[in-house]
Amino acid sequence: MRGWRAAALALLLTGCGAEPMAAQPTLDGQPPIVIAHRGASGERPEHTIASYTLAIEQGADFIEPDLVLTKDGVLVARHENEISETTDVADHPEFAGRKATKKIDGKDVTGWFTEDFTLAELKTLRAKERLPKLRSTDYDGKYQVPTFAEILDLLVQVNKGRAKPIGVYPETKHPSYFTAIGLPHEAPLLAILAEYGYRGRTAPVFIQSFEVANLKAIRAKSDLPLIQLMDAEGGPADDAKATYAAMASPAGLKAVAAYADGIGPNKSMVIPRGTLGTLGDPTSLVRDAHAAGLKVHPWTFRRENYFLPLGDKGGINPAGHGDLAAEIDAYLKTGIDGLFSDNPREAVPAVQKESAK
């Protein structure tokens, strides 16, 4: 839906005569950062060197690898340790016997898991598009699963001569699960970051997790910047009593600030959507987080109509592209310190335009 129809419906749904919200500052007064979510994952298969490289070319400030471990303890980039959605593992008869059902974060998951493969075996697989109904599959089968070291090697190359280096924003995926099977993230993650020169609070890195104990363990060993991820529902997999809603309260944010430098909330926690998919009024989350000294980096901004608010859709085709810049602009006005996007091509100029005002 575009043009006057979208505008008219928005007025009917949100009420006429409302005062436009004045733009709020970021925590440190610096322009918001754009974090390339799994690279430029809206245009290339996620978590591939091609995806990260394209994101860098499009101007992203940080690239985001989700990290899981192999059987031989190597950190690799996959959204999940179950890899049938993002690789061609199901097409490899030699690995048919590896298919299994495991309990991950309290849920039964069936498929193939990175911890059952050596790195050499994973390197025989090829990445594929995770959302084939919404995005091109033209690049399926072209790229390997990268190691974290290979991603950092890429950054070493692209950062040569740069005054402001492109940063890395790794997420530890299912850390308590991996610890339980004898493959903890913390030691190899901190070791490789130190090897590549990521030391101290000013290093161009953020380490993120939906869990809490993992971040606290890292904080005990390092002063690298940490981000506590939060979803709109549920709570950390490593604490059955905690909820993200409670963690997002003023008291909860104060507790988070004791071990982390910021939060990465589901964007609906910053601006919720109404029943018809329109953007509502901003919550107090950004203001409350800033009061606790925490940066706010919401996720995830995507250009497909399927993901956009009603007023920013570009038609009824779910795979069509709408006005991502308009959605981003609404969030920037809340004072967020950065955002995760699958589409740096659109997100970077949207942020730059708002920052130039």
Domains of the chain listed by start with CATH number: 3-11+22-82+143-355 (3.20.20.190)
Q: Which of 355, 334, 321 is nearest to 287 (CA)?
A: 334
Residue 3: predicted pLDDT: 41
Which DSSP state fits 314?
Answer: -
SS (H, E, C) 137-163: CCCCCCCCCCEHHHHHHHHHHHCCCCC
Strand-pairing partners, residue 279, are: 273
Could you report the per-residue pLDDT of 188-241, keeping only the tens digit for each? 999 999 999 999 999 999 999 999 999 999 999 999 999 999 999 999 999 989
Report residues of the chain scoring pLDDT below 50: 1-19
Residue 14: predicted pLDDT: 42
DSSP per-residue string spanning 169-201: --EE-SHHHHHHTT--SHHHHHHHHHHTT--ST
Residue 21: predicted pLDDT: 61
> E strands, the chain, where?
33-37, 62-64, 66-69, 75-77, 100-104, 107-111, 167-168, 171-172, 207-209, 226-230, 262-265, 295-296, 338-341
CA–CA separation, 34 vs 340, rounded Å?
6
Cβ atoms of residues 337 and 295 within 8 Å: yes
Work out the angle at residue 25's Cα, subtended by the Cα atoms of residues 23 and 31, and round it to the nearest 5 degrees: 105
Cβ atoms of residues 266 and 231 within 8 Å: yes
CA–CA separation, 173 vs 67, rounded Å?
6
Residue 357: predicted pLDDT: 74
Q: Starting at the edge strand that comes first in sequence, how are the strands of the sheet with 207-209 ordered?
A: 75-77, 66-69, 171-172, 207-209, 226-230, 262-265, 295-296
CA–CA separation, 35 vs 344, rounded Å?
8
Burial zone of 141 (CB within 10 Å; 0-12 exposed, 13-18 middle, 19+ buried): middle
For 335, other C-beta atoms within 10 Å of its C-beta total: 19
Residue 1: predicted pLDDT: 37
Whole-Å CA distances, 46 to 123, 337, 338: 16, 24, 20
CA–CA separation, 234 vs 269, rounded Å?
13
Could you report the per-residue pLDDT of 18-57, keeping only the tens digit for each? 345 678 999 999 999 999 999 999 999 999 999 999 999 9
